[in-house]
Structure 1
């Protein structure tokens, strides 16, 4: 856009800005004016197309129109002699197949394997990330496995015919999206157009200015910036916003690969944090029903006298077993202190709702075993509600189920509460009868 002859090959913002402002003496106003005019033209056509969908073809035809008009303008005005860079000479024709030139000898095959693995992983990650970003705009789903197979097959076949490395470039995808491409048939049309161009039309692109190609890419990129989606992420989920911001800053100040690594790292840390610090919530009964919900979410949910109900919202692994043990013990202590303050019935039953616990390992089993022993010392009974089949199998094989007692395993929280209430009522009657006999 500025007509610089020697520009940085780095893509980070710092390198680009340094290259731009350290060569201010080489800026060419001809390139700036030409690029700004065509950029304005492209943005105007997109705006008109969005205002009236019937004229979608205006935005679709704008890039090709810009290339033709810019080439004619440069040819008629000899702008290449005034600092406007052009494509220049292009070799005509298609390269011969390279299948017969492949080398599988040791010096080359190891280099190909190392380079192929690294570039393959990066290209696949970048291609899938770009595909998903466009899938959100178009409201469709992509399959990572199919994308990987497609990339692999294209590169295998392409390597036999001297094709360029195939991936999902963001700039070219943005241009396709901005032109209104709907299906993969656009790639077939593009490939045929490129083949016809290489065979017959390369001399016509000699005077095509590079600045108009820059304007096409810039206009396509501007259409993909969705700051409203970032604001929406901030209001909905702060961690997702951090993933978005980390990926953005990683790309701007580093590269696409660094942005992907930052985003994936933050996402993995979020998963690890969720596993290591699972949510535990106290449940209460909705009046006149058998439904039990979080007391902090439903103010009408009432606690059951003498019963403490705790819901565990994640699998129990070695990473969170100690944390859950502490959370459960702290919750029981807080509940007992609250009951003493209010002068209510002492706590006698602790119900763990395991409906959201999809799996458990040996550390989690040991945690339940230690919890059972701790509650027995405090005179409390451990009750399990809604454990899954995998949980039951492992508790049975580890003999922990025998220690808890099969009679203290229930399908639902409501059944567990009902049984505990029955035992409390029976115990009260027994205590009342014993007191009456002593008086007699």
Structure 2
């Protein structure tokens, strides 16, 4: 009887352990963690912490939130992800596009300057709903929804958002006090050139000087990858040099705006600040879902990219649960939306990280900053933060990918350009809607109007290929073989009947028609 009981309880215990490891992958790899791994992760964590601090402050300003929230968001969420994430290379933090979307969508309902408390609470609430949405997708295994954002869509949308972010930074670089809340190109240019008498040359000189420094260090690190740390340390170096320059020259008295007081201490709880009442609930839900989808698309794409380089697998549904949980926890601890940004993750990868412990080291570095070093940022000029953002956003303008799309698929190129134009000339939300709508249209056209190819036999083989791509193929006497690039069902049956009839009429000498349908494959 004792042996029987053990045999019954053992599978239950095993299932519990497997379930625990599924939700918390740290229990899977932690037992085999070594001191050599710790050395690599420690160096990586310190490196990305030096990048996370200035980026966090910059992106919080971009979202019209208190700068210290950028530090809060680089403390708690990375700790959660280190326990629940399946990527070894992803470095968690705030991102520019999500920050811009937060400012744009919530700013349409509440002015951050006139009612900062309500605006802040709505940002926490939107982060909460983003987390709930992300975790729900993972638990229900609905990650395929994110895949509807095609590669072309993401390229165009991210480039458009980067352009908008860069234009918004003209306020800081030119030292303007008043600026448009709109994000479209026309409104921004009108706001800039209607205030030429208020441009401050001191701020512009600082801004372009630090931007040149940041771009130069990035170029150097790209040419010599072993010096990746030069580019990674450049933002923090810019903050330190900018702060010293302002402090020594009293530039804040001559039109150079500074951050000012930053609250010292760890994250205060914000669960009671969440807004679940109308008329703002719908705004928080809409903002959370849209920013949550964008954050998922970026984070999972970045994680998969680096996993491919190191030849390991990450589970998309696990990642969604991890992202969702860290944003739910973050919304209750004074954080706004976080994901896995490419720039920070690339630095983490190049620094030689081995596991997600690098996120823990980064979080501890940010914690030390919150406890002891925040007064040092008092004299940090806003124009330096603008330069850091512009430098980071220039990396998202992937014109080479757009050119590649043009060479291989004109329709995908149109999707990319439509997403870009929608974001730049209308708004971020409209650009996203246009991009998704065109992507869905492309999918429907692919299913309802599939391509058909005539196949021929490659001599001395049993392989059949497209006769247009392989002119040396020979046809099978008396048989017309077609490849149909989609499944056959009611939505495309009429179209395929017409296409097959046309192919048959164009080959009148053939007396037999044989259709071979494949799903993206042919004989091999």
What is the TM-score normalised by the length of structure 2? 0.58
In the alignment, the residues of structure 2 paired with residue 15 and residue 353 of structure 1 have an alpha-carbon distance, to the nearest angstrom, of 55
Q: How much has 1:112 moved relative to structure 2?
A: 7.9
Map of 1:123 onto structure 2:
291
- 1:37-56 residue pairs with structure 2 within 5 A? 37-56=209-228
Q: Unpaired runs of 5+ in structure 1?
A: 340-346, 359-385, 387-411, 414-440
Tell me by how many angstroms 1:266 deviates. 2.3
Equivalent-residue separation in structure 1 for 2:404 and 2:460 (angstroms): 39
Kept in 1, the 8 Å contact 2:214–2:391? The answer is: yes
Residues 178, 220 of structure 1: 8 Å contact kept: no
Shift of 1:325: 1.4
Aligned residues: 345
**Structure 1 residues 12 and 189, CA gap change in structure 2 (3 angstroms):** farther
**Residue in 2 that maps onto 1:276:** 448
Query: How do 1:411-422 residues align onto structure 2 when only pairs under 5 Å count?
Result: none
1:60 aligns to what SS in structure 2? helix
2:118 aligns with none
The C-alpha deviation readout for 1:149-182, integer Å capped at 9, x for no partner, is 1222112222333x22223386xx5466468666
Q: How does 1:145-160 map to 2 (within 5 A)?
A: 145-160=317-332
Q: 1:14 to 1:307 in 2, by over 3 A?
A: same
The CA RMSD measured in Å over matched residues stands at 3.3
Match of 2:493 in 1: 321
CA shift digits 1:98-130 (9 cap, x unpaired): 45x378xxx936778645542332122211333
**Given that residues 74 and 207 in structure 1 are in contact (C-alpha distance below 8 angstroms), is that contact kept between their aligned partners in structure 2?**
yes
Indicate how the Cα distance of structure 1 residues 307 and 166 shifts in structure 2: closer, same or farther if over 3 A, else same. closer
Contact preservation (8 Å) 2:303, 2:340:
no
Q: Residue 64 of structure 1 aligns with which residue?
A: 236
| In the alignment, structure 1 residue 75 sits paired with structure 2 residue 243 | no
Cα distance in 1 for residues equivalent to 2:458 and 2:267: 75
**Aligned partner (choices 349, 364, 379) of residue 512 of structure 2:** 349
Larger mean Cα displacement after TM superposition, 319-328 or 180-189? 180-189
1-structure distance, mates of 2:206, 2:292: 36
3-state SS in 1 of match to 2:481:
strand
Residues 123, 353 of structure 1: alpha-carbon distance in 2 compared, 3 angstrom cutoff: same
Q: CA deviation at 1:322?
A: 1.0
Correspondences of 1:378-393 after superposition (within 5 Å): none
> Could you give the per-residue CA deviations for residues 175-201 of structure 1, whole angstroms, max 9, x where no partner exists?
664686666555434433443333332
Shift of the alpha carbon at 1:243? 2.8
Q: Distance in 2 between the 1:246 and 1:131 partners? A: 23
CA gap of 1:85–1:65, structure 2 versus 1, over 3 A, is same
The Cα of 1:323 is off from its aligned counterpart by: 0.7
Query: Residues of 2 paired with 1:352 and 1:200: CA distance?
Result: 73
**Mean CA deviation greater in 89-98 or 173-182:** 173-182
Indicate the residue corresponding to 1:227 in structure 2.
399
**Which of these residues, 30, 45, 67, is aligned with residue 202 of structure 2?**
30
CA-CA distance at 1:135 after TM superposition: 5.5
Are the counterparts in 2 of residues 284 and 303 from structure 1 also a CA contact under 8 Å?
yes
Q: 1:253 to 1:188 in 2, by over 3 A?
A: farther
The farther-off stretch of 89-98 and 133-142 is 133-142
Give the distance between the partners of 2:409 and 2:198, measured in 1 at CA: 46
User: 3-state SS of the aligned residue for 2:455?
Assistant: strand
Higher RCO (C-alpha 8 Å, min separation 6): 2
**Cα deviation digits, residues 308-356 of structure 1 (max 9, x gap):** 33333321122211111111222222222xx3xxxxxxx5422121344
Within the candidate set 164, 167, 189, 2:338 is matched to 167
Q: In 1, are the aligned partners of 2:487 and 2:518 still within 8 Å (CA)?
A: no
Structure 2 CA distance for partners of 1:89 and 1:102, relative to 1, 3 Å: closer
CA distance in 2, matches of 1:284, 1:293: 6
Partner secondary structure for residue 276 of structure 2: helix
SS at match of 1:310: strand
Q: Specify whether residues 295 and 35 from structure 1 end up closer, same or farther in structure 2 by C-alpha distance, changes over 3 A only.
A: closer
Given candidates 382, 388, 391, the residue that maps to 1:216 is 388
> For the pair shown, which has the larger CA radius of gyration, 1 or 2?
1
Shift of 1:133: 6.0
Matches within 5 A, 1:256-267: 256-267=428-439
Residue 73 and residue 297 in structure 1: after superposition, are their counterparts in 2 closer, same or farther (change >3 A)? closer
Which residue is equivalent to 1:435? Answer: none
